[in-house]
Structure 1
């Protein structure tokens, strides 16, 4: 996989060399640098794109995603705002802006942004899941379950939905329901990392724990 990104990066660098004002080539270089976790060069590529076209929202979004990963939430919020101002109908940008707001503990604003993201694209399951996650962190379990039940209709094969429901039932000491949903999550063959997390939750099913972001 790394070689694929390295090959793609070389191709996009060649495109930049042939036409240094090819905005999207700079942005694509940024994406590949990020995939290789070379954030410094990723930032440089996105900034190069914006020097050519300040309204290239993909570059603003790319920068925001780097800052989000680096937990520089004020920076990420600012850059997502810039991207959203240019592309105000993007459900994806709204969702990640909401994620930044949530990280800044501005939960009411985050929920409002998730609602806008859901309305902007009812087929995008991510803002619904993020909304449920925020509600769980706020201990609004009934509202979170309502969102997740609806989300199951849109994403019936998404293991993380069932895992989060299992987590909620665990907090409520409804262990049979928690076990059922953890089992359903495992049946959907999640990633190895998620499998380990879910199995750990099952092993600690009867041990009270604090709210966390493991699922």
Structure 2
């Protein structure tokens, strides 16, 4: 809808920020970065939404750009929570979680209603495996803003790590109720359903996530994996062929293709993809060679029977 308005209206900091956030929510980080770069050109002193921009750069692993952004915002207003979120994200990208935590706590001291800074604290606590502290931080974020879906997601992630899958599902569903078109949240729901030994329900969620983002490697990989669990090998093959075009150099995709072709008794295709997986990831040689040897043993058994 923002794209449909005239360029003179669209090329304003506020509209571009909404578009940048929309790209961010879709995990289209490169498009989001381009949009926020335009904002910085038009309004170099803008502080609003810069915490989101810093997180986008964190996801893209653009450490120099992130450090520069943090420096810029601190220069503009060192008493703004956005500045300390950007500095914290910069430390987080360097895996200095303790320093990142200090920055995010400083942001919440400056603004007790800045929910996103509480959520970023939670993420750092998770990185430090301090799950009780993470739960407290995420709950503080929800107290500051009840519709802050990132915190509901964070609670779900902590419960999932603790093996409390029913609680995890409940909190992921709460996050998805607020943000129903986010494929990452839908995939998380599918993941915990799979861990709860409910692959059919997981498949429904993975299929929904793929509809929301057809180019997401994670959604499609999870869908293909659960189809294999359900012995739906032809359907799994369709997903894996699409996935191979999206991420041609991913060893796990070729390994799964090899396994599917092996089950479908297409030996030539199976060996080709096992070999490609081996070349792409030599460290995984043990289990790839094991799968190839099993196939050879099965052929020997069939020859013996004949």
Say yes or no: TM over 0.5. Answer: yes
Partner of 1:59: 151
Task: With the length of structure 2 as denominator, give the TM-score of the two structures.
Answer: 0.61
Q: Distance in 1 between matches of 2:243 and 2:95?
A: 36
Q: Distance in 2 between matches of 1:144 and 1:45?
A: 40
Q: Distance in 2 between matches of 1:108 and 1:56?
A: 30
Q: How does 1:77-156 map to 2 (within 5 A)?
A: 77-156=169-248
* Structure 1 pair 83–198 and aligned structure 2 pair: CA distance change class (3 A): farther
Shift of 1:198: 4.4
**Coordinate RMSD, CA, aligned:** 2.2
Q: Distance in 1 between matches of 2:291 and 2:208?
A: 36
Q: Larger Rg: 1 or 2?
A: 2
* Structure 1 pair 78–147 and aligned structure 2 pair: CA distance change class (3 A): same
Q: Distance in 1 between matches of 2:94 and 2:132?
A: 18
Conserved? CA contact 1:94–1:114, under 8 Å = yes
Q: Distance in 2 between matches of 1:183 and 1:135?
A: 23
Q: Distance in 1 between matches of 2:294 and 2:218?
A: 30
Q: Which structure is richer in relative contact order (CA contacts within 8 A, separation 6 or more)?
A: 1
Partner of 1:200: 287
Q: Please give the per-residue CA displacement for 1:178-202, whole angstroms capped at 9, x wherever unaligned.
A: 443233124334xxxxx54443331
Q: Please give the per-residue CA displacement for 1:21-67, whole angstroms capped at 9, x wherever unaligned.
A: 22111000011111222222111111111111121100011111122
Conserved? CA contact 1:98–1:113, under 8 Å = yes
Q: Please give the per-residue CA displacement for 1:94-138, whole angstroms capped at 9, x wherever unaligned.
A: 111111112222222211111111111112121111011101111
Q: Distance in 2 between matches of 1:180 and 1:69?
A: 36
Q: Give the number of the structure whose residues are more often helix, by fraction.
A: 2
Q: Distance in 1 between matches of 2:261 and 2:156?
A: 34
Task: With the length of structure 1 as denominator, give the TM-score of the two structures.
Answer: 0.84
Equivalent in 250, 257, 265 of residue 165 of structure 1: 257
* Structure 1 pair 185–29 and aligned structure 2 pair: CA distance change class (3 A): same
Q: Please give the per-residue CA displacement for 1:61-107, whole angstroms capped at 9, x wherever unaligned.
A: 11111222222211111111000000011111111111111222222
Partner of 1:74: 166
Q: How does 1:33-52 map to 2 (within 5 A)?
A: 33-52=125-144
Gaps (5+ residues) in structure 2? 1-92, 296-306
Q: Distance in 2 between matches of 1:28 and 1:103?
A: 26
